[in-house]
Each structure stands twice: as C-alpha cells, then as structure tokens.
Amino acid sequence: MSRIVIRGGLVVTAAEEVHADVLVEGGRVAALASHDSDPARGWTASADRVIDATGKYVIPGGVDAHTHMELPFGGTFASDTFETGTRAAAWGGTTTIVDFAVQSVGEPLRAGLDSWHAKADAQCAIDYGFHMILSDVNEDTLKEMDILVEEGVTSFKLFMAYPGVFYSDDGRILRAMQRGADNGGLIMMHAENGIAIDVLVEQALAAGRTDPRYHGEVRHALLEAEATHRAIRLAQVAGSPLYVVHVSARQAVEQITLARDEGLNVFGETCPQYLFLSTDNLAEPDFEGAKYVCSTPLRPREHQAVLWRALRTNDLQVVSTDHCPFCFVGQKELGRGDFSKIPNGLPGVENRMDLLHQAVVDGHISRRRWIEIACATPARMFGLYPRKGTIAPGADADIVVYDPDAEQVVSAATHHMNVDYSAYEGKRITGRVETVLSRGEPVIDGREYVGRAGHGQYTPRGTCQYLV
Ligand SMILES: [Zn+2]
C-alpha cells in the first residue's frame, strides 16, 4: 500500500484552515498531523513519497457538478470528449465531474444512461458521476427514476427552455417533482421561459437582429426570473427540493433568496461566466460575441455584484461550470447570420478553481468559501461527501497542491480543453495548480500531466445531503 505524505502546506477545507501534514494511504486520506509533530516526522521517514507543499495550499480536488462532455446540441457535439475534458479538468484542479446523461424523446432513461456510460467508460482521467436529463416525462420514465436513484443517479434535470428538444411543460415538471419527493431524487431546473423566448427569437430574426448580442436580449432576465419563480412554486406544491442550475439574473437570485427565506429546500448554482463575463462580451464585433453564447445568457455587468453577494450569503451555494465547449471555427460559426443557430455553451472546466481563487484574491469570497462552493457543497448536494469535497480521514485522496502566489495568463494557446478559444483569453490570475492526486495517484505532478484515461472511475452517488 503506497504511502504519500504532503508536507508543510496550509490545508484549506470548507470548515478549517490548518497547517498540517497529510498522510495518504491506499488512495485515501489516513490522517492529518501538525507539521513537524512526532507522528508527522514518522510518516515522512516511512513514506514512499513526500510532496513538499511549503508555502502552498493543500485543498480538496474540485467537484464540478455541471459538465456536458460530447453533448449533442444544434446539429453538432460539444468538442471535449470525456478523455480531453477530464484531463483538462485535472489541469485545473478538479478531480470529480458530474456530467449529464441525456434521455432522448421516446427512449427510456436507461438507453440514455447506457450511452453516456459508453462514452465515458475507460476514458476519464478523474472520477465522474452522472445526472440524468429527463426529456420525456411519462409513466415509464417516472418509474425508471426510482431505479436510477437506487443505482446512484440521484438527480434529474428538467428544462423549461428549448421547446421541441428538452422542454417539459408544467404538468410534466410537476409529475417529476412529485416522484422526486417520493424517491429522494433532486430535481435540477433549467429555468427560462422557453416558449416566450422562442417568440422573441422569431421576432428578432424577422426584424434583422441576427448578431450574437441579441441572444442575450431575447433571453430576457425577467423570463429567467419568471421561470425560477414558477419552478419554485411547482416544487413547493410537489413537496420536493429544487436545485436551479446556472442562475445568471439578479431577478432570479431574488426569487431563490425569497424561497430560502420561506424555509424551502431551494438551492441555486451560478457559473464563472456569469461572475466574470457580461453582455459586453456578447456584443464583441465580427461575430466574436458567439464565443460567449450560452443559456441562461450573460447579463449586464451590474448583475455580477448580486451574484457575488448571494455566494457570500449562501443564497447561492454552488459554482459549477456548465462546461459545454464548441469551437469558434466550424461550430459557433453555424450561427453566422442567425444567432439562434449558435450552439449554446462555453468552455470552463479547466478555469473554475483558478477563477474562484482570483475571487479570493479580489476579496469577493473567503478562502474557505472558495472551497465550500467549488468542492464541499457540490459534493454534499449530489451525495458524494465525504468521499469527495474535503480532506479528512477516510476521504478519497483527491488533493490539490495549489500555489497561491503563482501568476498565470489564461489563454487558448496554453489551455488543455479541446476548443480553439478561451472565454477568458488574456485574463491574469494569481494562483495555479501545481500537483493533483486522484485517489492518491498523481494526475498532475509539478505541472506535468502524468494521469491516464481510464484511471477515473464511475462513482455512484447518494442522495442530496442538505435535506432534513
Ligand atoms: Zn448545462
């Protein structure tokens, strides 16, 4: 059984910041002891390997609860495979992803889940789990939900947007929520009024407003807020918890805050793109704005302060990426002359931990809150804690040695995601991943990739740990 000691660093979890050495045995965290104590000295003497973390942070690997590797969308596929996407995630200090298996309309959930397993099996550099996208709620699929929860697929995403593709009407949503209330499944909601948005899309295109920036205008903040409100009330009627994905609008945050103040089990996630980018990016000339087309859309800059505040006050609890990359050349370009044909999605799985560390440096959040929103809470929300999301005896040794003083400039020229642009091109960031362990095995070792496709294991999940 290999013994690794990570020595001399500052261990930061959601709960604590302690100067401690960490003993890893057999892929798990065995113990923590204060630096240079007798036990720690003993470990160092007998270790197979000692990783020097002096002056560095020792943090749990990131848990990105919202990725879309190889997602089919708008006649093309997200450009990261499970192999390239999980490798890039590791480079950025993320050691677990929860990706979305997709049910196609008319197919059982099982068929969708099987095909996502086939895509991911033996490909991943880090551990992974699945949520299930429900595109077709009916008697059979409701029954299948129970089985999936038992098997460790414990969360189900529904869409109030994308009529004709993923969309569910309120009746179907209510049924799925009722089932979730019974079987423990957590309903995740893409909350935008897609029926109304499609009218505005049609009107915009008819009026010749075809540029990417109109994507942001037709997907109105009020239509996010309205859908968020409706989802909350449907969940309340069903007696089910609700997790709202990719919250971007101030008005939607207000709905979530109100629901939480009422004591409802309503949770909210936002993403780095809403915290760091804005409609200014969507308005970039020469079709460059297409690089920033995602749904919910980027909002005017003034929404950012509300999102940061909500992350501090715990009205929003999680930052995931919604990583869904499409190359500018050949993919985003499908929407030249018609913004509605631009594939929706941004790359980010590699950037999340660094961007949120920059937020620590900038004073938006504390160090422990960084770990909480990026590691611990997503792990708890989706039934992976305490195996994932913390550094504690018994936890998987998914550990990142993070250099808080290193300087880097984000660029497509140096990133590892399989996409030809960066949404954060040229952004200066203080802090960088140095070494990453996944279940005790080095994946990134001193800024060198030493992982392999197939190391990452499928990880069945328990139910949400925030419900009483
Ligand atoms: Zn998504």
321 CA from centroid of ligand 1 (Å): 8
Residue 75's pLDDT is what? Answer: 87
The residues whose Cβ lies within 5 A of ligand 1, an ion, are 322
In this predicted model, what pLDDT tens digit does every residue of 331-366 receive, in sequence order? 999 999 999 999 999 999 999 999 999 999 999 999
- Do 215 and 152 touch, CB atoms closer than 8 A? no
Token pair recorded at residue 248: 């971007």
307 CA from centroid of ligand 1 (Å): 18
The mean pLDDT of 425-450, rounded to a whole number, is 98
290 CA from centroid of ligand 1 (Å): 17
206 CA from centroid of ligand 1 (Å): 28
Token pair recorded at residue 394: 């018994």
In this predicted model, what pLDDT tens digit does every residue of 168-226 receive, in sequence order? 999 999 999 999 999 999 999 999 999 999 999 999 999 999 999 999 999 999 999 99
67 CA from centroid of ligand 1 (Å): 7
215 CA from centroid of ligand 1 (Å): 17
Cis amide leading into 44 (omega within 30): no
- Do 80 and 415 touch, CB atoms closer than 8 A? no
Confidence of residue 1 (pLDDT cuts 50, 70, 90): low
404 CA from centroid of ligand 1 (Å): 30
Phi and psi torsions of 429, nearest 5°: -130, 135
9 CA from centroid of ligand 1 (Å): 35
DSSP states of 38-92: HHHHHHHHH-SEEEE-TTSEEEEPEEEEEE-TT-EETTEE-S--HHHHHHHHHHT
Alpha helices in 298-401 (DSSP H): 303-313, 352-361, 367-371, 377-381
By C-alpha distance, which of 123, 121, 127 is closest to 80?
123
The mean pLDDT of 131-148, rounded to a whole number, is 97
pLDDT over 70, % of the chain: 100
pTM of the model: 0.98
455 CA from centroid of ligand 1 (Å): 25
29 CA from centroid of ligand 1 (Å): 32
119 CA from centroid of ligand 1 (Å): 18
298 CA from centroid of ligand 1 (Å): 14
